[in-house]
Amino acid sequence: MNDEQLLRYSRHLLLEEIDVAGQEKLLDSHALIIGAGGLGCAAAPYLAAAGVGKITLLDHDIVELTNLQRQIMHTQHSIGQSKVASGKTFLQNTNPTITIDAVQEKATESLLDKLLPSTNIVLDCTDNFATRQLINAANFKHQKPLVSGSALKFDGQLSVFDARNPQSPCYACLFSPDEKFTEVSCASMGIFSPLVGIIGAMQAAQALQVLIGFGQPLVGRMLLWNGLNTQIDEMRITRNPDCLVCGKAH
């Protein structure tokens, strides 16, 4: 690290769990954030500020007025822009010393096959079941750790699925691709503004833990946050031997 980096990340360097070696791991890391909406808008700035050397933002959507209630990377002047372009500007202003790639596309199997080999960690900040299943399958295929977050109304969920760990479940162990879910969205159900900030920031914290390798990330555990009652619960989850993605038969 140069003198500017030593000063910029000095508060990290004071933490013995991170120190110089951990910070250098972050500087050499590449995080893929899928979704530049509420969750991504909270997770990405912390990863950028923390010094993750390269961040790729993937989202096909554009900024609308209704997004501004919770999507803090975007401003009034961003309306009509792509979310990844708006987010890239925000992140570059936050930390101009790192690399930000903006990909304005939908997540597809072929695109993830192209992006995942060069990444160290993936953050699923999307809001629909089919895309979550697609991301999970791609992460297992490429053996990449996945930080999964979701938020709706007053309720948030957070977990880490690490395909490198033979004991770790995957997203499909918990929610089978065969199950039929009725898709619900913020547009129809509403969402408490700070909720995406809370869950997205925790996604960033989990990603930093996994990248550096300290503490106990939420592998095999799911955190449940209730913003209405200010209550946190934890659920233990295990790998499903019959899982359609990571099970023995597959």
| Residue 120 banded pLDDT, cuts 50, 70, 90 | very high
Question: Residue 146 forms beta bridges with which residues?
Answer: 122, 161
Q: What is the spatial order of strands in the sheet that 121-124 belongs to? A: 99-103, 54-58, 30-34, 121-124, 145-152, 155-162, 221-226, 231-236
For residue 187, pLDDT over 90 is answered with no
Q: Work out the average pLDDT over 195-219.
A: 98
Structure tokens belonging to residue 8: 């910029």
Q: Work out the average pLDDT over 201-226.
A: 98
Instruction: Please tell me the predicted confidence (pLDDT) of residue 111.
Output: 98
Instruction: Please tell me the predicted confidence (pLDDT) of residue 186.
Output: 66
Instruction: Please tell me the predicted confidence (pLDDT) of residue 250.
Output: 60
Structure tokens belonging to residue 134: 């697609």
Instruction: Please tell me the predicted confidence (pLDDT) of residue 180.
Output: 74
**pTM for this model (two decimals):** 0.96
Give the DSSP H/E element, type plus range, for residue 41: helix 38-50
Give the rounded percent of residues in the chain with a pLDDT score beyond 70: 96
For residue 249, pLDDT over 70 is answered with no
The string of pLDDT tens digits covering residues 17-63 is 999 999 999 999 999 999 999 999 999 999 999 999 999 999 999 99
Ordered structural domains, the chain, with CATH: 3-236 (3.40.50.720)
For residue 203, pLDDT over 80 is answered with yes
Q: Work out the average pLDDT over 208-212.
A: 98
d(CA 219, CA 145): 10
For residue 137, pLDDT over 90 is answered with yes
